[in-house]
Amino acid sequence: MKLSKSFLTYYRLTILVFLLIIGFFANAQNVEDSVLMEQSKLNAIRQFKHVLNENALIYSGNEYIEYVPIESLNQILKGSPFFQLDSLVAGSINFDGVIYTLPVKLQLIEQKVIINHPASQTLIELPNERVQFFTIGSHFFYKTPIALSNLMNSDKLYAEKISLGHFDLWIIHEKLLKYSKKAEDQSANYISYNKYAVQKKGIWQKIKSEKDLYDICIDKKEEVQNFARNVGLNFNNDFEASTVQVLKYYDSILK
């Protein structure tokens, strides 16, 4: 669903009406009830902001249609194609160079950034070329650097970046559909699969194992390994969280 292109005209008229309202109140005389006047002015301002929010340029995308793979039409899908949660999460988006603070979610299969229109309550997928970066909760996503795409042999449009002082940890989040091998089981599960790399002074290194991680910390390897043992990190249970903790510690002891 493409939203109305007459929005800019409506936007300008709304601004004009708003200015007239403010001018009226600024020059009003002989008003017996100043409290009522102030309340009316505040209501006008709130209405103005509400109209602007509903007609912001960021809502000019197409309606999001739920993703259903053709090969899965006769199967029960379990899990979710979205990053972390199905629901929209508090975040922000740099759209055409303007920062908007609003709920957002990322559909990983098709790499779609999705928001909700406040008036129609319609899910909207944003044009990727107009999104510079965005956040979902505390997670920062950027367009995947070409060097990272080449290193990982990945075509994913967005990657999460975690800044760690002396270097950056990049994560390409993916989800794949895994089909049951049992003929009687007509289900498919969304499985998370992430790829990790560290960027330091223009040099990129993959992290596929605990060994790769310690190789990055080679100059402080023994100290970093002792830290991991002392705090009880378990890479098998949570590789990502353990990797982040090790890299944060490594950064803290670098000079």
pLDDT beyond 70 at 222: yes
How does residue 79 score in pLDDT terms, banded at 50, 70 and 90? confident
Q: What angle do CA 110, 152, 66 make, to 5 degrees?
A: 10
Q: Note the pLDDT tens digit of each residue in 26-60.
A: 555 555 556 555 665 555 444 444 444 555 788 88
Cβ atoms within 10 Å, residue 3: 18
Assigned token pair, 75? 């199967």
pLDDT score of 23: 55
Q: How confident is the model over 208-237, as a mean pLDDT?
A: 94
User: Which of 191, 166, 165, 156 has the alpha carbon at shortest distance from 177?
Assistant: 191
Reduce the secondary structure of the chain to three states and give it as a string. CCCCCCHHHHHHHHHHHHHHHHHHHHHCCCCCCHHHHHHHHHHHHHHHHHHHHHCCHHHCCEECCCCCCHHHCCCEEECCCECCCCCCEEEEEEECCEEEEEEEEEECCCCEEEEECCCCCCEEECCHHHEEEEEECCEEEEECCHHHHHHHCCCCCEEEEEECCCCEEEEEEEEEEEECCCCCCCEEEEEEEEEEEEEECCEEEEECCHHHHHHHCHHHHHHHHHHHHHCCCCCCCCHHHHHHHHHHHHHHHCC
Q: How confident is the model over 204-209, as a mean pLDDT?
A: 96
C-alpha–C-alpha distance, residues 71 and 237, integer Å:
32
pLDDT beyond 50 at 4: no
Task: Identify which has the larger pLDDT, 73 or 51.
Answer: 73
Assigned token pair, 54? 């509903």
C-alpha–C-alpha distance, residues 139 and 161, integer Å:
8
Across the chain, what does the average pLDDT equal?
82
pLDDT beyond 80 at 73: no
pLDDT score of 36: 56
Q: Note the pLDDT tens digit of each residue in 149-200.
A: 999 999 999 999 999 989 999 999 999 888 777 766 778 888 999 999 999 8
Q: Domain residues of the chain, as ranges?
A: 7-55, 62-201, 209-255
Q: How confident is the model over 6-15, as a mean pLDDT?
A: 50
Task: Identify which has the larger pLDDT, 40 or 62.
Answer: 62
147, 158 in Cβ contact below 8 A?
Answer: no
Q: Note the pLDDT tens digit of each residue in 82-133.
A: 999 899 999 999 999 999 999 999 999 999 999 999 888 899 999 999 999 9
pLDDT beyond 50 at 223: yes
C-alpha–C-alpha distance, residues 187 and 193, integer Å:
19
pTM here? 0.76
